[in-house]
Structure 1
Amino acid sequence: MQVQQKYEEERQKRLRPDGDAQYVDLDTSDQFKYYRDDPWLDERSDKITISDNEHIKYLILGAGCGGLLYAAKLVKSGVPASEIRIVDSAGGIGGTWYWNRYPGLMCDVESYIYLPLLEDMKYTPKHKYSYGGEIREYLTALADKCLLSETAMYRTKINSLVWDDEQHQWKVNMSKARTDQPSLEMNVTTQFIIAASGLLLHPKLPGVVGIETFKGHSFHTSRWAYSVTGGSQSNPTLDKLSDKRVGIIGTGATAIQAVPHLAKYAKHLTIFQRTPSSVDTRGQHETNHETFSSTVATHPGWWKERNLNMARHLSDAIKPTDTNLVNDRWSICHSYRSIIGGPNGPTSMEDIPAFVASLHASDLPRAEEIRRRVDDIVKDRGTAQSLKHWYASWCKRPTFHDDYLPCFNQSNVQLVDTDGKGVDSLTATGAVVAGQEYPLDILIFSTGFRAPLSGGPAARADMKVTGRNGKDMDAKYNEDVATLHGVITHDFPNFFIPGPFQAAATANQTFTADVLSEHVAYIITQAQAKHPGQKVVIEPTKEAEEIWTGEILRRSMAFAGMAGCTPGYLNGEGLMDSLPMEARMKAARWGIWGEGLESFMNVLKRWEDDGKLEGLDVRAV
C-alpha cells in the first residue's frame, strides 16, 4: 500500500487541466513550423512519379514499416508492383526511421523480431537491437526488392479523399512539395486506399512561456541538427558541443538514447525532467552470424514464431512448453498485458479490483529491481531518488539502456528535477525552473509526438476523408467508431485502416503491422478472386461492424489497470480518468482486442479459413 500511495502522490503532481493542450503541435503551428522542416532531403525527394489525373489501383499512404508491409504483402499475394503507388510526406523511405536520426537511436525491441520480412530478405541484423541508420537502409533495400522505390513519391501530402459512388473509386487531392518551387497540387483517383501513415508522425513542443524568445540554437530530436552539434548519424562525434552549454527537455524513450552522446561531448549538459522513465538493462551486443543461424533463424517461419513467443510473454499468456526466445528484460515484463491485453481478464465489474491488484503484484518485483538499479549506479543520493520511476510499468513505455544512468555520475551532467511541473519558462539565454535560470547555448526538445490515440486515421494524417453520402471519417470516429477487425469501416468502401483501434497490439508494432497487412491482402485478393476481371467494392455491413465493436467492448475490462496511471500519451495526459461514465464507454469503442495479439490472430485465422468474407459486402461494379 505504501508503494501505491507513492504512485498516487506522484501522479497528482503531474495532473494538469489542459491535458494534450499543454503542447504545441508543430503540424498545426505556423509560429513554430520551422521546427518540422525536413533536414534530410536528397535528389530522390523531389522526384515526381505520379501524374495529375492518373488512376492508381492501390494507393498506400506511408513509406515506413507499415506502408512497406502492406505493399509487400500485396505483391506476395500476386498484385503487380506496377499497380501500387506509395506516397509519404517525408523525403524518403523509413517512416519514423526517416525522421529520427539522433545519436544513439536504436530499436527498443529485438531487431530479430522488429525488422519486417527478415526471412524474405535473408538478412542478419548487425546487433541484437539495430541502430537507426541500419534500419533505414534495410527498409530502403526492402522497398527496392519489392520494386516499390522507383514509383514512390515523397514530400507528398494527401489533403482530401472523397468517395465517388458513381465511379466506385476515391478522388484524391494531394500536394507535392518541391525545393525552390511552389508545391504541385494534383488530383488522382484510386480504387483502393491504405492509410498507413504511422503513429509517431507529428512532433510536438511543450507550451512553455517564452519559448519564442530563446536566442540560442534549438531543435526537436526528430529533426536533429548535426550542423549545430557536429557529427552525423553514422558518425555521432558531436565535436561542436565541446564549448557549449546544452539543455535537453524530456526524459522519455528518445532522451534515454541521446543523452549518453550529449554527455560525452557537451561542455555541460542540463537535463530537465518532469517524469523519470523506468530504465532497465539493455544488454546490447553485436550479432554472431553463426549463433544467429543456429539458434534464431533455424527454420522457415521462425520470425513469426519468435514474435508470437514475445507477444505471449508480454500478455502473460505463456504456455508450459514456452521458452523465452528473445530472453531480454522486455520479454519478462508480463504486466505489460495491462496495455496490450491478455487471457483471463475480468468479465464483470466485480472482478476488476482483484484483477488490478494482481497486475500490481506481478509488476512490483520488477519495478523495485529497476529502482534498486538506480541506487546501484547513480552515486549522488538525491539525483538517484529523482531518477526513480513511481508508476506501474505499463503506464509509460518502458525503456532499456546501459549507458543512460551512468551519465549522471559525470561532472558535466546536471539533472534538474522539476518535480512533475516541467520547465516554467524560457528566456533569451536559458530555461527557468522554480525561479532559477539555467544558462544554455543550445536547447533540444525531446518532447515526443502527438498522442497516437488522439484521432482517427484521417486526423492522424491531417487529411479530410469523405465517404458515401458525405460521411466524414473524423465525425464517425468521434461519434460512433466501428470497424470490422480494425481494418475497414462502413461508409468508406475500399479504404483500409491499419488499426490500432479495434485491432490488436503488442510491444513490437512491426509484428502487428505484419498481421494486419496480411489480413488486408487476404481480403482484397479474395474479394477480387470472387469476381475475376471485374472492379470490386469492399465494405463491412453496419451490422457486422457493430457486432465486432461489441466484441471489443466485451473485452475492454482487460485494460482496467490503466486507471490511475501517471499522465502520459496513453491516457490523454491523465484526463481519461476524469471522464464521465458515458464518455468512458464511448472511448472504449476506440479500444483494442482485450485478449492479446495471439487470440486476435486466431480469430482472424478462423474467419479467413471459413472463406466466406463474413460481414463484408463485396460487390462487382
Structure 2
Amino acid sequence: MTTDIANGANGHSQFPTEEDMTLLQLQQRYAEEAAKRIRADGPAQFLDLTDADTDRFKAIAEDPWADHAALNAKETVNDGATYKFLVLGAGYGGLLFAARLKQAGLINGPDDVRLVDAAGGFGGTWYWNRYPGLHCDVESYIYMPLLEETGYMPKQKYAPGTELREHADRIATHFDLHDKALFRSNAQSATWDEERRLWTVQVTEGRGPNEPSRELTLKCQYLLIASGVLNVPHVPKIPGLEGFGGEMFHTARWDYSATGGSYESPDMEKLKDKRVGIIGTGATSIQVIPQLAKWAKELYVFQRTPSAVHPRDQKETDPEEWKTKIACKEGWQKTRSLNFVAHMSLAAKDDEENLVGDGWTKIPAYSALIGSPGFGLVEPTPEAIGANVARLYKLDTPTTEGARARVDQIVKDPETANKLKAWYPSWCKRPTFSDMYLQAFNEPNVHLIDTNGQGIEAVTKSGLVFGGKEYPLDVLVLSTGYRSPVFGNGNPAAKTGIEVIGRGGLSMDEKWKKIGSATLHGIATSGFPNLFFAFGPQSAATANFITMLEVGIHHTAHILSKAEEKVGVGSRAVVEVTREEEEAWTLQVMMRAPYFASLMGCTPGYLNEEGHSAKQDPKEMMKASRSSGWSEGMLSYIEVLEEYRSEGSLKGIEVTAA
C-alpha cells in the first residue's frame, strides 16, 4: 500500500505534495517495522495452554482460584437433564444472555437456563485475570453491564479487576443465577438431535485434583455461545522454556504464592530479593510492569513490539456527579454507551457532547478497525482503497506522533525512550492507557530488553537469552496474550473449542473451512437450528465489548420472542436461518470488506493472527473477507437491525413447532 499515497490523497494521479511524501515515509517506516516481526510460523509460534501436553504447562493452565470443596458440595446440573437454554460461558456475555432473556419473559422456570463455564465462578476474563494493577481500559460506567438494574455505582472511572469480578456475582444474585451455573466444566461437543429437535451437549466437569471428573450429557432447546474474546491464553514456543528453573506463570493465572501478596492486597514482598523477567509489553503488561517495578529487586522487560501508551486520567467517582449528570435518567447507560460509540466512530453530531471524554474518543483513526459512517462504501479498486488508506493514515498521524512525543516527555534515557516508541498505526493493536507505565522505566531497577521485533532466542534453566547474552532470572512472568479473536475466521465453534454438529451431520468447522463465515446479522448460521452466538463475524465492533454483547443479545432475544409467539404456548420453537438470507447478508458484508484494507499492513498481533492474515492466497483472502465487520460502524449496524425488527416478518428465519 505504500505507493498509494504517491498517487495523491484522493487516489488520483498527481504530483505528490510535501504532506503526501511525509505520509509515504511514515508508511514505509511502519512497513519496515512490521516486516521485522513477520514469522513463517504465524500463530503456530504459540502454544495454547488448553492444548498443553507437558506437566509444566498443564500446571500453568490450572485454575488457582476455584473452591473445589464448595463447588463439589453443590449439584446444579444432573446428568441427562433437559434445559430450555444452555449458555456456554458465565462471564459478562453469559450473564447478559440470562438477564436479557429473563427480562424478555423467555426464562421463567427453575430449569429454563443453565450456564456452563470452565472457570470456578462468574466473571469470565475477570475471574481468570487477577494480576496486580488489573483495571478495565474502558470507562466502568459503560463497561460494567446492568448498572441500572443492580443500582450499583462504580468506585472509579476505570474499575479494578476485583470490582469487576464482584459485579459479575452481583448480577448473578440480582437475576437468581447462582444455582444455575455449572463451573469447572468444558463442553466437548454439541449435536443437533433431529428426531427430538434438541441439542445434545457433552460436558466434562472437573472436580478438583482429588476427585475424578464427571462426564455429563445435557439436552437443551436453545444453545447459546458466549465464550468471550480473549479466552484461551497462550505461551511462545521458545526453546528451553519448559526447563526454566525458577517460578513461571502466565498473567491470566497469576501465582501469588511466588510473588507474595494476594489479589485483594497485591503486596509482592517475596520479590524484594528476586530478579524478575516479564515477556510481553501489550495491554496486560502496561498494567503489570509498574506493580512489579515497585517490588522486584531487578525487573527485566523483554519487548518484541512496544505499545502506544496514552494518558489514563483515572479518577474517583463523585457521588453527586453520578446522581445528577451520569445515572440521572432512565436508559442513561445505553445513551452513554452509544454516545461513546458515536465519538469513537466519527459519527457524533457537531453539537453532541462527548459524555465519556476519554482517550478512546480521541483516537479518530481507530475507526479503521471499527468502521465509520463518514467514509461510505469503498470500491474494490486500487485507487479507492489507496485513497481510503491514505485518508486514515493522515487522520492518525497526530495521534501516533503525540504518543511518541509523550515517551520523550516522560522517559529520561533517550535510548530507552526510542525503544519504547510504537511505529504502527493506532488501529493495528489495542491502544493502551497508563499514567504509570512509561514512568517505570525511569526507575534504576527496571531494564528494557528490546529484541527489535525478534523475540527471545532461548531459555536456560537460569534465565532468558537474547543477542547471545543470558539474563539470569528467579521469576518469569508470561504476559504473552491469547488466541486471536479472528481464529478460524471467527468460527464460534473453533473459538470456543467445541465440536458443533448441526443438521444432517454438518460440522460447523467444516462449513467455515469450506465457505468461510456465513451468518445472519452475525448471530446465527444456517444448518444449526436454535443456536445463537452473542456476537460473531459479520457484525459490528467497538472498543467496548459490552456494547457488542448488548446489541447481539438484544437482537437474539427479539427473534426468539417473536418465534415463540408464532408457535404458541405448549409448543417448542425451532428457529433457523435460511441459506438464502445468510448469503444475502454475507454479500453485504463482503461489499464492505475493502474498507478494512488498512489492516493488511499491520504489525503482527492478535488482530491479524500474528501477520498470517496478510499472507493468505487470493482464494483464502476472499474467504476471509466474509468475516469482515460492518464498515459503517456500530450505530449503522444497530439501525439496520432496528429496521429489520420493525419490519416484523423475521425475514430469512424459518420458525417451526416441535
Confirm or deny: 8 A CA contact 2:592 2:628 kept in the other structure.
no
Aligned counterpart in structure 2 of residue 80 of structure 1, from 89, 108, 133: 108
The amino acid of 1:501's aligned partner reads P
Matches within 5 A, 1:399-418: 399-418=432-451
Aligned counterpart in structure 1 of residue 187 of structure 2, from 144, 158, 170: 158
The answer for the alignment partner of 1:204 in structure 2 is 234
Q: Post-superposition shift, 1:273?
A: 0.2
| Most deviating of 142-151 and 99-108 | 142-151
1:140-164, CA deviations, whole angstroms, 9 ceiling, x for partnerless residues? 1101110111221101111111101
The CA distance in 2 between the partners of 1:565 and 1:290, in whole Å, is 44
The amino acid of 1:352's aligned partner reads I
| Most deviating of 415-424 and 525-534 | 525-534
The amino acid of 2:376's aligned partner reads G
Distance change in 2, residues 1:500/1:236 (3 Å):
same
Matched, 1:529 2:565: yes
Matched, 1:51 2:87: no
Confirm or deny: 8 A CA contact 2:378 2:388 kept in the other structure.
no
The CA distance in 1 between the partners of 2:315 and 2:263, in whole Å, is 19
Aligned counterpart in structure 2 of residue 511 of structure 1, from 535, 540, 547: 547
Matched, 1:488 2:503: no
The answer for the alignment partner of 1:590 in structure 2 is 627
Distance change in 2, residues 1:503/1:81 (3 Å):
farther
1:54-75, CA deviations, whole angstroms, 9 ceiling, x for partnerless residues? 1111100100011100110000
Confirm or deny: 8 A CA contact 2:377 2:591 kept in the other structure.
no
Q: Post-superposition shift, 1:405?
A: 0.5
SS at match of 1:178: coil
The answer for the alignment partner of 1:61 in structure 2 is 88
The CA distance in 2 between the partners of 1:402 and 1:158, in whole Å, is 41
Q: Post-superposition shift, 1:81?
A: 5.8
The answer for the alignment partner of 1:345 in structure 2 is 376
Distance change in 2, residues 1:512/1:522 (3 Å):
same
The amino acid of 1:500's aligned partner reads G
Matched, 1:425 2:458: yes
| Most deviating of 71-80 and 569-578 | 569-578
1:361-397, CA deviations, whole angstroms, 9 ceiling, x for partnerless residues? 1110011111000000000000000000000000000
Matched, 1:36 2:61: yes
The answer for the alignment partner of 2:5 in structure 1 is none
SS at match of 1:437: strand
Q: Post-superposition shift, 1:302?
A: 1.3
1:543-586, CA deviations, whole angstroms, 9 ceiling, x for partnerless residues? 01000101111111221111211111111211222222221110
The answer for the alignment partner of 2:247 in structure 1 is 217
Aligned counterpart in structure 2 of residue 297 of structure 1, from 321, 327, 332: 327
Confirm or deny: 8 A CA contact 1:552 1:592 kept in the other structure.
yes
Aligned counterpart in structure 2 of residue 26 of structure 1, from 30, 49, 52: 49
Q: Post-superposition shift, 1:28?
A: 1.0
Matched, 1:540 2:570: no
Matched, 1:12 2:12: no
Q: Which runs of 5+ in 1 are unaligned?
A: none
1:332-362, CA deviations, whole angstroms, 9 ceiling, x for partnerless residues? 1111111111112343123111111110111
1:68-116, CA deviations, whole angstroms, 9 ceiling, x for partnerless residues? 0011000000121621111101110000000000000000010011000
SS at match of 2:257: helix
The CA distance in 1 between the partners of 2:80 and 2:655, in whole Å, is 27
The amino acid of 1:171's aligned partner reads T
The answer for the alignment partner of 1:100 in structure 2 is 129
The CA distance in 1 between the partners of 2:165 and 2:234, in whole Å, is 23
The CA distance in 1 between the partners of 2:266 and 2:243, in whole Å, is 29
The CA distance in 1 between the partners of 2:445 and 2:151, in whole Å, is 44
Aligned counterpart in structure 2 of residue 174 of structure 1, from 193, 198, 203: 203
The CA distance in 2 between the partners of 1:484 and 1:81, in whole Å, is 30
Distance change in 2, residues 1:81/1:279 (3 Å):
farther
Matched, 1:464 2:487: no
Distance change in 2, residues 1:392/1:120 (3 Å):
same
Confirm or deny: 8 A CA contact 1:313 1:333 kept in the other structure.
no
SS at match of 2:278: strand
The CA distance in 2 between the partners of 1:346 and 1:371, in whole Å, is 32
The CA distance in 1 between the partners of 2:645 and 2:71, in whole Å, is 39
Confirm or deny: 8 A CA contact 1:13 1:421 kept in the other structure.
yes
Confirm or deny: 8 A CA contact 1:106 1:129 kept in the other structure.
yes
Number of matched pairs: 621
1:479-524, CA deviations, whole angstroms, 9 ceiling, x for partnerless residues? 2221111111111000011222011110000111011111111111
The amino acid of 2:547's aligned partner reads F
Matched, 1:376 2:413: no
The answer for the alignment partner of 2:118 in structure 1 is 89
Confirm or deny: 8 A CA contact 1:44 1:91 kept in the other structure.
no
Aligned counterpart in structure 2 of residue 149 of structure 1, from 164, 172, 178: 178
Confirm or deny: 8 A CA contact 2:492 2:536 kept in the other structure.
no
The answer for the alignment partner of 2:263 in structure 1 is 233
The amino acid of 1:296's aligned partner reads I
SS at match of 1:605: helix
Distance change in 2, residues 1:305/1:44 (3 Å):
farther
Distance change in 2, residues 1:255/1:81 (3 Å):
farther
Q: Post-superposition shift, 1:45?
A: 3.5
Matched, 1:445 2:482: no
Aligned-pair Cα RMSD in Å? 1.0
The answer for the alignment partner of 2:3 in structure 1 is none
The amino acid of 2:58's aligned partner reads K
The amino acid of 1:34's aligned partner reads A
The CA distance in 1 between the partners of 2:459 and 2:259, in whole Å, is 21
Q: Which runs of 5+ in 2 are unaligned?
A: 1-23
1:30-69, CA deviations, whole angstroms, 9 ceiling, x for partnerless residues? 1122110000011444333111111111100100011100
The CA distance in 1 between the partners of 2:134 and 2:227, in whole Å, is 21
The CA distance in 1 between the partners of 2:70 and 2:627, in whole Å, is 38
SS at match of 1:539: strand
The CA distance in 2 between the partners of 1:28 and 1:212, in whole Å, is 15
The CA distance in 2 between the partners of 1:572 and 1:61, in whole Å, is 24
Indicate the percent of aligned positions where both proteins have the same amino acid.
48
The answer for the alignment partner of 2:7 in structure 1 is none
SS at match of 1:351: helix
The answer for the alignment partner of 1:327 in structure 2 is 357
The amino acid of 2:140's aligned partner reads S
SS at match of 2:493: helix
Confirm or deny: 8 A CA contact 1:345 1:557 kept in the other structure.
no
Matched, 1:478 2:503: no
The CA distance in 2 between the partners of 1:510 and 1:140, in whole Å, is 17
The CA distance in 2 between the partners of 1:554 and 1:45, in whole Å, is 49
Confirm or deny: 8 A CA contact 1:494 1:539 kept in the other structure.
yes
SS at match of 2:471: strand
Confirm or deny: 8 A CA contact 1:558 1:595 kept in the other structure.
no
The CA distance in 1 between the partners of 2:273 and 2:429, in whole Å, is 35
The amino acid of 1:64's aligned partner reads G
The CA distance in 2 between the partners of 1:416 and 1:502, in whole Å, is 40
Confirm or deny: 8 A CA contact 1:75 1:81 kept in the other structure.
no
The CA distance in 2 between the partners of 1:378 and 1:94, in whole Å, is 36
SS at match of 1:94: coil
